[in-house]
Chain A
Amino acid sequence: MKIIGLVISVLTGAFLVYAAVDFPAWSDPASPASTYLSPHFIEKTMEETSVPNIVTAVLADYRGFDTMFETTVIFTAGLVCFFLLRTIRRKEPESRHYRHMLTGVTIQIKEGHKLPPSADFERMDSLWTPPDLIIKTACRLLIPFIQLFALYVIAHGHYSPGGGFQGGVILGASIILLAISHDLRTTIERMSEKLVAILCAVGVLIYAGAGALCLLLGLNFLDYSALAPLLHVDPISARSLGILIVEIGVGVAVMCTMIWIYNNLSSAGKYNQGL
């Protein structure tokens, strides 16, 4: 198998090298990829959409359909992880373990019995390692600033590198950081499974809804200039604002998908304390 693999790889590599001889040289301004459509994007983006970041404009406006279905693909991937891994029928174990957070005393509760009503107890699995105080505190301090930066990346995507995908991933990473530094139960307390799933769909819905709204207002799907009378701006600024609406939708969808995939993967669908 190893030899077959090596032969196939070397052969394919040789074909690719042969093909690459005809490719344009590195950083050639006259290469075919840079001459056909991209000059139009570079030169006309400002007057057509008033967005200085060409990547954002192409992503959400000129190639709006592509991005919409990419968002759908991400949403579907989150859904697939959920269906593959989540164990819906929860078999309660014979005994559960709780830890008193102030003293560190562990108590065992048999099936059918209840914990005395107190907020000092924390559910734990049989395998438990104490979270490090320094890591916990440092992550607690960092997470708000990470989220603030993520919001900046989404909102400032028109003028600097950034946008919905990048900001959404940073937002998702901040919540995953919480899950790693504390445990998965803490994260689910703050952001329940249901909320994550609903927000995932809401993100895609914001995107598709913005497109459908343009359709209802009499122009093509995802032609944001139709939103001008609603937003009280000229059609070109309306395209810029339409891109922002869509980017927010992408950000929400990406954030929640990342959290959803992490939650399911790290606990193998059991939603216990996670990694």
Chain B
Amino acid sequence: MADLVSTVVAKYNYWIYITLMMIGLYAMIAKNNLVKKIVGMNIFQTAIILFYVSIGVKKGATIPILQYSHGHDAHLVVHAADYVNPLPHVLMLTAIVVGVATLGVALALAIRIYDRYNTLEEDEILAQIREEK
């Protein structure tokens, strides 16, 4: 029992990201409104960003910017254990901005759909498409 509790506590970052990701997935599948689906997609993205950033964390390490790297007291001996993993930060830095850009595309598509069908509810759009056939 104590073993299980320590496992759950030691990996709490994974439980948070899984919960968030499934909330996003559920919203994308079950919600009827297209804007709510887009919101779900964004929650999904946020979960992935959280996951990546939490992978990079090291115990007792600081942000990945080298200290005392210039000037008279510069020392070039750097220990990898003193700085958190920079790689997930780099990946997520670009992913956040790309996420905003794709959100723009999704909203543009939603505007176009609203122009055409005068609604954003999925079942009403499908009914209109069936009528046209």
Contact = CB atoms under 8 A, between A and B. Distances in A.
B85 A34 contact: yes
A142 interface: no
Contacts of B19: 13
A265 B104 contact: yes
Nearest to B59: A27
Contacts of B39: none
Contacts of A261: 101, 104, 108
B5 interface: no
Interface residues of B, number: 60
A1 B29 contact: yes
B100 to A, nearest CB: 7
A205 interface: no
B30 A42 contact: no
Contacts of A8: 25, 29
Interface stretch (A53-61, A93-101, A208-216): A53-61
24 contacts: A4-B29, A5-B25, A6-B26, A6-B30, A8-B29, A20-B15, A29-B61, A29-B81, A33-B55, A34-B56, A41-B86, A46-B76, A52-B67, A54-B64, A54-B66, A55-B65, A55-B90, A55-B93, A59-B93, A66-B94, A67-B94, A161-B63, A166-B93, A257-B101
Interface in A1-57: 1-2, 4-6, 8-10, 12-13, 16-17, 20-21, 23, 25-29, 31, 33-34, 37-39, 41-43, 45-47, 52-55
Contact of A27 (B30, B57, B78): B57
A106 B32 CA distance: 43
Contacts of A81: 104-105, 108
Interface string B10-26: 11111100110111011
Nearest to B122: A1
Place the interface of chain A in its size category. 35 or more
A225 interface: no
B119 interface: no
A2 B26 CA distance: 8
A26 B104 contact: no
Contacts of A257: 101
A58 B58 contact: no
B36 interface: no
Interface of A: 1-2, 4-6, 8-10, 12-13, 16-17, 20-21, 23, 25-29, 31, 33-34, 37-39, 41-43, 45-47, 52-55, 58-59, 63, 66-67, 70, 73-74, 77-78, 80-81, 84-85, 159-161, 163, 165-166, 168-169, 254, 257-258, 261, 264-265, 268-269
Contact of A85 (B14, B54, B112): B112
A33 B69 CA distance: 25
A257 to B, nearest CB: 6
Contact of A1 (B13, B30, B66, B83): B30
A177 to B, nearest CB: 16
A23 B10 CA distance: 10
A8 B81 CA distance: 40
A80 B108 CA distance: 9
Contacts of B111: 84-85, 265, 268-269
B65 A54 contact: yes
B129 interface: no
A265 B70 contact: no
Contacts of A168: 97
Nearest to A165: B97
Nearest to B78: A43
B93 A39 contact: no
